[in-house]
């Protein structure tokens, strides 16, 4: 086997093995600590609830292990055995050029989606149903998939055409233009998604008038915010998991509360969660995350620029140097690199969470946020005893007990 090909395959297998190892550590940590509620949360979460959270986390972790093994094997199979025949099959129907490249990526994406469908089905209709979270019917599930696929086609096809056309216009510098275009598009999408795409999947209604809205508006005013753009989303149609988020920027920004969150939390807790979200906005975390994505994308496009010109990535696997195949091989090769970066991106995310917690503490005091975090952990069956290394790698939010400890500290 070609050296580059062997190196890529090895990296994919090692990355998959690392993922499985970390998931196994997480399972072991949760299992061995399932009989006793951590001291910091004793009295606030019952042993029964703690055991149930452990069972849920274990089931999710096992599904994660199966998925990681499946993904790793499938990626290697694609690279070594399947991409060539897939390309030949598409070549029978589509003439060479940009159209064929686009068709190859679409065929690959369709096959990937179908092959991963059993995991989505198992997650929704076995795992989430077993633990009482799922409220989706099979019909809703199918409708969501069809809408999602239609949306990917409508957005993806023009983007793929541009990606394959640009190198023909400027073979050396196309990737810089593509990166600039990508950054502009990401910025536009942060407005387009909440305003146009999210409403295709959920209903957003303005927050109803009443004492809660008045208190929310008072908090927004205290933080120097306009009170426009407060919405309630009918998340309860699909799942009973509760959440709140902030979307868009400038005049298009909006704050979205899941109806499940409003139903399950006391007004003080809702205000503290809002204060946390406002903290993310005030402290520039949304901009920071966009900047992180832009830096990653810069390197991604630079590598693609090199790979398109060189063709070596496809050659290494005995594939024709079609840009579609190069794109797929490069994406697969970048997977392990991104996996190794996850401790860094997770760390940055957790740091932002602590900062937003501090902001909320300054605005509403620590008590309502602490009780909100405990209630969220209880309602979402979050584990209170994650493995430290696993959490360091993948947790975008610090473990609940760590957040509460920080909030209690002076
Ligand atoms: Zn947050």
Mean pLDDT computed over 208-217: 94
Q: Tell me the per-residue pLDDT of 244-270, one tens digit each, with 9 for 90 and over.
A: 888 877 777 888 999 999 999 999 999
Residue 343 domain flag: yes
Specify which residues 204 forms β-bridges with: 233
Cβ–Cβ under 8 Å, residues 325 and 107: no
Q: State the distance from the centre of ligand 1 to the C-alpha of 246, rounded, in angstroms.
A: 10
- Domain assignment present for residue 134? The answer is yes
Q: Identify whether 357 is a catalytic site residue.
A: yes
**Does some domain include residue 238?**
no
Judge whether 231 and 195 are in contact, CB under 8 Å.
no
Question: Is residue 312 predicted with pLDDT exceeding 90?
Answer: no
Mean pLDDT of the chain: 94
Q: Which of 269, 322, 357, 387 is catalytic?
A: 357
* 337 Cβ contact partners less than 8 Å away, ≥ 6 residues apart: 11
Identify the domain containing residue 18 by its residue range: 3-203+282-408
Nearest alpha-carbon partner for 351 in 297, 299, 395: 395
Is 277 among the residues known to form the active site?
Answer: yes
Please count the structural domains in the chain: 1
C-alpha–C-alpha distance, residues 401 and 383, integer Å: 10
CA 245 to centroid of ligand 1, rounded, Å: 8
Q: What is the Å distance from ligand 1's center to 407 Cα? A: 14
What pLDDT, in 10s, does the model give residues 4-44? 999 999 999 999 999 999 999 999 999 999 999 998 887 89
Residue 260 inside a domain? The answer is no
What contacts 7, CB < 8 A, 6 or more positions away?
Answer: none
User: In this structure, is residue 189 part of a structural domain?
Assistant: yes
Domain-located, residue 215: no
Q: Is the pLDDT of residue 159 over 70?
A: yes
pLDDT at 228 over 90: no
CB 159 within 8 A of CB 170: no
Q: Ligand 1: distance of its center to the CA of 374 in Å?
A: 15
Catalytic residue among 277, 322, 353, 387: 277
CA proximity to 13, closest of 71, 63, 78, 60: 71
Write the burial class of residue 20 (CB in 10 Å: 0-12 exposed, 13-18 middle, 19+ buried): middle
CA 163–ligand 1 middle distance (angstroms): 34
DSSP state of 207: P
Confidence of residue 286 (pLDDT cuts 50, 70, 90): confident
| Cα distance between residue 44 and residue 266, in whole Å | 16
User: How remote is the CA of residue 396 from the centroid of ligand 1, in Å?
Assistant: 9
Residue 227 banded pLDDT, cuts 50, 70, 90? low
Indicate whether 27 belongs to any domain.
yes
pLDDT at 153 over 80: yes
Tell me: the pLDDT tens digits for 64-118?
A: 999 999 999 999 999 999 999 999 999 999 999 999 999 999 999 999 999 999 9
As beta bridge partners, residue 230 has 255
Confidence (pLDDT) at 300: 96
Residue with more model confidence, 408 or 43? 408
Give percent of the chain with pLDDT exceeding 70: 100
> Is 332 among the domain residues?
yes
Q: If you ran DSSP here, which 8-state letter would residue 126 be given?
A: I
Which pLDDT belongs to residue 140? 96
Give the confidence band of 1 by pLDDT, cuts at 50, 70, 90.
Answer: low
To the nearest 10 degrees (0 to 180), the angle between helices 285-310 and 138-169 is 60
The pLDDT value recorded for residue 244 is: 85
What pTM, to 2 d.p., does this model score? 0.93
């Amino acid at each position: 086997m070609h050296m580059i090909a062997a190196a890529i395959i090895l990296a994919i297998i090692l990355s998959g093995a690392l993922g499985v190892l970390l998931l196994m550590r997480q399972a072991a940590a949760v299992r061995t600590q399932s009989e006793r509620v951590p001291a910091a949360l004793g009295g606030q979460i019952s042993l029964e609830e703690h055991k149930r959270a452990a069972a849920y986390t274990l089931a999710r972790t096992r599904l994660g292990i199966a998925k990681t093994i499946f993904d790793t094997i499938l990626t290697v199979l694609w690279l070594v055995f399947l991409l060539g025949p897939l390309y030949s099959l598409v070549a029978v129907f589509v003439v060479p050029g940009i159209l064929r490249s686009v068709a190859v990526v679409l065929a690959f994406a369709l096959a990937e989606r179908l092959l991963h469908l059993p995991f989505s089905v198992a997650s929704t209709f076995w795992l989430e149903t077993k633990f009482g979270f799922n409220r989706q019917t099979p019909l809703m599930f199918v409708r969501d998939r069809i809408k999602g696929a239609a949306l990917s086609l409508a957005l993806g096809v023009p983007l793929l055409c541009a990606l394959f056309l640009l190198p023909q216009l400027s073979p050396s510098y196309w990737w810089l233009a593509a990166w600039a275009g990508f950054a502009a598009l990401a910025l536009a999408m942060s407005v387009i998604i909440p305003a146009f795409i999210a409403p295709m999947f959920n209903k957003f209604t303005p927050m109803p008038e009443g004492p809660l809205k008045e208190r929310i508006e008072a908090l927004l005013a205290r933080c120097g915010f306009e009170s426009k753009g407060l919405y309630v989303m009918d998340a309860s149609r699909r799942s009973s998991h509760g959440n709140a988020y902030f979307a868009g920027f400038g005049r298009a920004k909006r704050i979205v509360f899941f109806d499940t969150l409003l139903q399950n939390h006391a007004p003080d807790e809702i205000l503290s969660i809002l204060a946390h979200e406002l903290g993310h906005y005030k402290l520039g975390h949304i901009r920071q995350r966009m900047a992180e994505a832009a830096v990653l994308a810069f390197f991604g496009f630079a590598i693609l620029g090199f790979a398109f010109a060189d063709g070596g990535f496809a050659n290494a696997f005995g594939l024709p140097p079609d840009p579609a195949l190069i794109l797929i091989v490069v994406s697969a090769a970048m997977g392990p690199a991104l996996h190794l970066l996850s401790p860094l991106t997770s760390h940055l995310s957790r740091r932002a969470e602590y900062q937003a917690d501090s902001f909320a503490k300054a605005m509403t005091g620590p008590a309502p946020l602490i009780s909100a975090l405990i209630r969220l952990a209880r309602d979402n069956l979050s584990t209170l005893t994650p493995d430290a290394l696993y959490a360091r790698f993948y947790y975008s939010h610090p473990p609940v007990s760590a957040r509460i400890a920080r909030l209690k500290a002076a």
